[in-house]
Structure 1
Amino acid sequence: MGWLCQPCPSGMDRTGAAQTVARRERRMRNIRKAVITAAGRGTRQFPATRTLQKEMLPLVDRDGITKPALQLLVEEAVNAGIEQVGIVVNPESEAGIRAYFGALTDEEAGWGNDKQLLYEQAEHLQHLGERIVTIVQSEPLGLGHAVYLAREFVGEEPFIMYLGDHVLLSHTEKNCTQQVLDVYAQTGGTLSAVRRTPEERVHLYGTLAGTPLPSVTNTLHVTAMIEKPSVEQARASLRMSTLPEGVYYCFFGINVFTPEIFECLERTIAEGHRMKGEYQLTTAQQMLVERGSYYACEIAGEALDIGIPQGYLEAQMALGLAGTYGDALRRWMNERGGCDR
């Protein structure tokens, strides 16, 4: 939401007013909250998602602990300094997600596993759970609607937003979220992480183009955006001379929004702008592009989509190779003839 200029209070000179504005801007850049959308039905992973929310599909993380994908995102946010996490859920999955991040049950406490590991992990989950608020999306009305439901949780603050069915894997010491927040500290406004994507895959993602910012490395001022364009649309409207032929910038799965996004989503919903019966987040994002302060940054990392079988396999392989079992996994692959078999 844009700030309105107010008259200086009595006794406050222009310097004092400027300092007040500067403090306000610093607060607006101090991001404390994250929103994870995790209400989708996971139809592309049926039948595994018949009784299990897709964001709760298990993965062996880099530390060798088996966790649901949702936990990886919550840990990603908390490790980047986020204090509160709002998870948008559907009515069927809310109880299970809340229970997962809850206290150890009496039955679990009686298990004969490694007690130290059991209690360490249970305590860790409970600490994460103390930061979590669930937000119920009663009807499957799309990603835009899911984000809009977080309005009360977010309040008048900027926030970071994740797609709940993405696993993030950084290629640097800083996690993907920290990289995005470092750029946001320089740009302000709305900021989306992007990745280079070959043109044969742009139909799967929101795709954008823009003008490079000389002052911020690997960052664009966004000028155009299309939700899941055809190759022809991308070539006609989103081609960038700074990228190789046939390569485009697509959304990575991390966005920083100000409360202004809710104004745009409210308008989208009120005017009934739907695509295939759903309110799309990109409709509101396009409104923000038209307002001018929309940026995109390319970060060093991967976002792997576990909502599809191939993406789920890729996520597990990437985590496995990057983690505790990496050497053992490589030996196993070599024993089977490498990747060609």
Structure 2
Amino acid sequence: MKALILSGGKGTRLRPLTYTGAKQLVPVANKPILWYGIEGIVAAGITDIGIIISPETGEEVKSLTGNGDRFGAKITYILQDTPAGLAHAVKIAQPFLGDSPFIMYLGDNLIQNPLLPFLEQFKQQQLDSLILLRPVENPTAFGVAVVGDRGQVLKLVEKPKDPPSNLALVGVYFFDRTIHEAIANIQPSPRGELEITDAIQQLINTDKKVESCILDGWWLDTGKKDDLLSANQIILDERSTCKIEGNIDGDSKIIGRVKIGSGSQLVNCSVRGPVMIGDNCHLENCFIGPYTSIADRVTLIDAEIEHSVILSEATIENVNHRIVDTLIGRRAKLTTAPQRPKALRFMLGDDSQVELA
């Protein structure tokens, strides 16, 4: 059994952050989104992993993620020159996949459920494909499925104007080698891409065994700012612990589950968890509220922040009104002039500089 993780694409919904980096590397609770998928796949016993990368961000993905040793896996990188669809990604990965069954995982997705039970069902029932589904309120934005009373998939439609159901395809699929023949027999969609929904529909049309499972845990597509902040909140809620490795002066107060990395220094700060603060940060005269993740080498002086994600080497100084629901990119600088605004809400890309007058 192999795995194929998609980590290409342009990440247009997270711009300006993704002008300078891969969306799958944006951190949730100070860990790249992509790594959660890798860890989930390895936990299911799959260690031979191919990762689809793009020309724009592929080198960054390779540099940060490495050869797989940190995860107990072997990672092979596969370049997709153009974003020509999910089925196209499978097509160019065929030399890596061979005749092996595989799991396909979209690298910007997070799911609560472990993968092993789905993998066992896929194997035990000797399926050609097993797809994961989740009821959603806006099915027009997704590929949706019509299923029978036993979970068999009857029909798939990509982003329908008139949805036949509210069951959206989660970005996790299990395939046997028959998917390659199905992809060879489909044509590009009106948007010029080889759609994985069309390939699965081809399996259905040729009487292959395509079944579904409906997730009972959460599913997060982190392609937008608010979705990413929600993911950060959920992960901090479920997985954060209290661990203090940095230095905290006597005027600072730590309440709840707070993790502070080595080399970080807090001076006259109040931190209310769950909060995660990375290594070598400097915080002075700050309030850090719940559901905030602060990456490595961040400087915060005279600032109040909650429910936000601050990427590495960002600087926020003298912003004395509370910042909420905010995503700030690497090396961004945010300062304020003496006249202070009443409310602040931002999404700042890497290397941004903002002065509030």
8 Å contact kept, 1:101–1:128: no
**2:9 maps to 1:94:** no
| d(CA) in 2 for partners of 1:53, 1:127 | 20
* 1:129 CA displacement: 7.6
1:132 to 2:75 alignment: yes
Partner residue in 1 for 2:211: 295
Of the three residues 89, 102, 107, the one matched with 1:159 is 102
Alignment of 1:87-236 (within 5 A): 87-102=51-66, 126-128=69-71, 131-170=74-113, 175=114, 177-189=115-127, 190-198=129-137, 201-213=138-150, 220-230=151-161, 233-234=162-163
Please state how far the C-alpha of 1:277 moved relative to its aligned partner.
2.1
2:34 aligned partner, one-letter code: L
Partner of 2:270: none
- Corresponding residue of 2:220: 304
Answer 1 or 2: which has greater helix percent. 1
Offset at residue 204 of structure 1 (A): 1.2
The CA deviation string for residues 142-181 of structure 1, in whole angstroms up to 9 with x for no partner, is 22211211111111111001111111223xxxx1x11311
How large is the Cα RMSD of the aligned pairs? Answer: 2.7
Which amino acid counterpart does residue 89 of structure 2 have in structure 1? A
Deviation at 1:186, TM superposition (A): 3.5
Q: Deviations over 1:104-128 (max 9, x none)?
A: xxxxxxxxxxxxxxxxxxxxx6333
Cα deviation, residue 299, structure 1: 2.8
The answer to whether the aligner puts 1:260 opposite 2:205 as a matched pair is no
Higher strand share: 2
Matches within 5 A, 1:9-20: none
In the alignment, structure 1 residue 82 sits paired with structure 2 residue 46: yes
The residue type equivalent to 2:226 in the other structure is: Q
Quick check: 1:329 aligned with 2:274? yes
For 2:136, what is the secondary structure of its paired residue?
A: strand
The sequence identity of aligned pairs, in percent, is: 29
Matched, 1:281 2:196: yes
Q: Which runs of 5+ in 1 are unaligned?
A: 1-31, 61-65, 104-124, 214-219, 240-247
Partner of 2:49: helix, strand, or coil? strand
The answer on whether the counterparts of 1:91 and 1:136 sit within 8 Å (CA) in structure 2 is: yes
Tell me what 1:57 maps to: 26
TM-score, scaled to structure 1: 0.68
Q: Check the 8 A contact 1:221/1:296 in 2, yes or no.
A: yes
Aligned pair partner of 2:234 in 315, 318, 335: 318
Mapping for residues 31-50 of structure 1, pairs under 5 Å: 32-50=1-19
CA distance in 1, matches of 2:136, 2:117: 19
- On the 8 A contact 1:210/1:224 being kept in 2, the answer is yes
1:209-230 per-position Cα deviation (integer Å, ceiling 9, x unaligned):
12122xxxxxx01111111112
Distance 1:186 1:137 in 2: 33
TM-score, normalised via structure 2 length: 0.65
Structure 2: unaligned runs, 5 residues or longer: 242-255, 258-272, 276-287, 292-304, 308-323, 325-357
Structure 2 counterpart of 1:228, which letter?
Answer: K
Q: Aligned pair in 2 of structure 1 residues 129, 40: CA closer, same or farther (>3 Å)?
A: farther
Higher relative contact order (CA 8 A, sep 6+): 1
